[in-house]
Amino acid sequence: MTVTTLPTAHAPAAAPFRGGALSLSHMTPYEAWQFCESLANTPLLPDAYRKQPASVLWAMEYGRALGLDVVTTITTIHVIKGKPCQSADLMLGRARSAGHRVRIKSERTRCEVRIMRHDDPDDETVIEWTLDDAVTAGLCTLRDGRPYSRDQKNQPQPWEKFPRAMLRARAIAEGVRIACPEVLHGAIYTPEELGAVVDQEGNPVVVERTDAPPMQQGVTVVQSTPNGPPTAPQRDYLAEAAATAEADQLAAILTDAEAAGAPADYMACLAELRDAHAAETVGPVRELHTAAQERGAHPDHLARLATIGATKPGAKQQTGGGEERPTPAGPAPHSVSDAVATESAIPAGVANAEQAAAEAENLLRLAASRAHLATLDADFERVYGLPIEQATAAQLDQFRAKIEAAGGAQ
């Protein structure tokens, strides 16, 4: 009996498993683009990547250079003002993954970060961030020893709500940049350092879109003119400062304006309004008015100083006959153009009309200031055939209504 041994049939070798995190290295160029187009349509993406497949593809390629998978890249690499940035925790993780030793000591008012390089243990970098550093950087102010930072709607911002987390993020970012910048691959800033509003974890709450906003049609552009009003933030701090004489409120207004990034000339105007309110007589207000006039301040600012000066003891207004009398009791009426140069009492018979015209003029100049209308006096005289100083309250109110209705477009 012959026994024949047949060869054993071998099953084909199984293909190597390619599971795990998604990466461009597992895709062809066409597959990568198709994937990015699909991913860009999900509402789960950050705003900078939503409906932007090219931006998603760029982020994925950037993440591949860092050795990150797609999900980690999209959630931790942010685009702020066209620049890639990383969260502080991602910077920390990459530094430790590279073998560097990082020690963090975090407190409510300070955070210390120590980094020892793995290739040079004797090279230790120590970075400390305190609330005083945050104040110096203009990130917040201190009130009663606690950080204070509000947005334009007077809502608390992260530096007020999460000071410990914000100090930690700043210290980590600065420490990694100095001690081991090679782990950052060009993304050397956190979103908050580039001006983004972030939460307590350092992730942007509102991220700038990479696509340009659509052009609006039918919008009238009003060009600025020499010696125009100082560029102001959206909140009208000058109007607020002119409307109150309370020292605490004035100090808070100046602090908020500085925190909002108001320019130097705008802050100078606020300081003059504060000093004018603090003056006990009209003399110091005259000096402020003269100094502001010599440096070319806008007429609206001079008008505000004149309004404050007219309420001070010693202010006078010249009568029609040229005689001067002390200011009568009650609110001191004034004319915006000459309240500082000529002060004497209004005759009793015309006091009410003059005061009404003065108040209407103040409102008109304030409306022109908000509309950035630098040619107010010339425009008014062209329409009514007389200067503002000779107009009635009804004419002034009528012209102010036209400015407000037009929204400043002339």
Is the pLDDT at 156 greater than 60? The verdict is: yes
Using DSSP bridges, classify how beta strands 316-318 and 324-326 pair: parallel, antiparallel or unpaired: antiparallel
**Per-residue three-class SS string for the chain:** CCCCCCCCCCCCCCCCCCCCCCCHHHCCHHHHHHHHHHHHCCCCCCCCCCCCHHHHHHHHHHHHHHCCCHHHHHHHEEEECCEEEECHHHHHHHHHHCCCEEEEEECCCEEEEEEEECCEEEEEEEEEEEHHHHHHCCCCEEECCEEECECCCCCECHHHHCHHHHHHHHHHHHHHHHHCHHHCCCCCCCCHHHCCEECCCCCEEECCCCCCCCCCCCCCCCCCCCCCCCCCCCCCHHHHHHHCCCHHHHHHHHHHHHHCCCCHHHHHHHHHHHHHHHCCCHHHHHHHHHHHHHCCCCHHHHHHHHHHHCCCCCCEEECCCCCEEECCCCCCCCCCCCCCCCCCCCCHHHHHHHHHHHHHHHHHHHHHHHCCCCCHHHHHHHHHCCCHHHCCHHHHHHHHHHHHHHCCCC
Is the pLDDT at 174 greater than 90? The verdict is: yes
Q: For residue 99, give both structure tokens.
A: 């073998």
Per the CB < 8 A criterion, the answer to whether 202 and 191 are in contact is yes
Helix, strand, coil tally for the chain in percent (to 5): 45, 15, 40
How far is residue 207's CA from residue 158's CA, in Å, rounded to a whole number? 16
Arithmetic mean of pLDDT, 125-143: 92
How far is residue 268's CA from residue 230's CA, in Å, rounded to a whole number? 10
Higher pLDDT, 41 or 2: 41
Who's near 230: CB < 8 A, 6+ residues apart? 263, 265, 266, 269, 298
What percent of the chain stands above pLDDT 70? 75
- Which residue has 């407000």 as its token pair? 404
pLDDT at 180: 92
Residue 353 carries which DSSP code? H
Using alpha carbons only, how large is the chain's radius of gyration in Å?
33
Is the pLDDT at 127 greater than 90? The verdict is: yes
Per the CB < 8 A criterion, the answer to whether 144 and 62 are in contact is no
Considering the entire predicted model, what is its pTM?
A: 0.43
Confidence band for 33, pLDDT divided at 50, 70 and 90 = confident
Residue 82 carries which DSSP code? T
End-to-end, the C-alpha distance of the chain in Å comes to 115
Is the pLDDT at 233 greater than 70? The verdict is: no
Least Cα distance to 361 among 286, 296, 310 occurs for 310
* Residue 221, amino acid: V
Per the CB < 8 A criterion, the answer to whether 340 and 309 are in contact is yes
CA torsion sign for 346, 352, 353, 359 is positive
Arithmetic mean of pLDDT, 390-394: 84
Confidence band for 25, pLDDT divided at 50, 70 and 90 = low
Higher pLDDT, 113 or 152: 113
Arithmetic mean of pLDDT, 96-114: 93
How far is residue 76's CA from residue 49's CA, in Å, rounded to a whole number? 12
Is the pLDDT at 240 greater than 80? The verdict is: yes
Task: Return mean pLDDT, the chain.
Answer: 76
Decide: helix, strand or coil at residue 14: coil
How far is residue 203's CA from residue 145's CA, in Å, rounded to a whole number? 27
Burial of 349 (0-12, 13-18, 19+ CB in 10 A): exposed
Q: Please state the φ and ψ torsions of residue 378, each to the nearest 5 degrees.
A: -65, -40
Kindly report which listed range (115-124, 255-264, 365-374) carries the lowest average pLDDT score: 365-374
pLDDT at 201: 67
pLDDT at 24: 66
pLDDT at 46: 77
Residue 215 carries which DSSP code? P
Residues 321-373: tens digit of each pLDDT? 444 444 433 333 333 333 434 333 334 434 466 777 778 887 888 877 777 77
Higher pLDDT, 203 or 111: 111
Arithmetic mean of pLDDT, 278-290: 88
How far is residue 132's CA from residue 145's CA, in Å, rounded to a whole number? 10
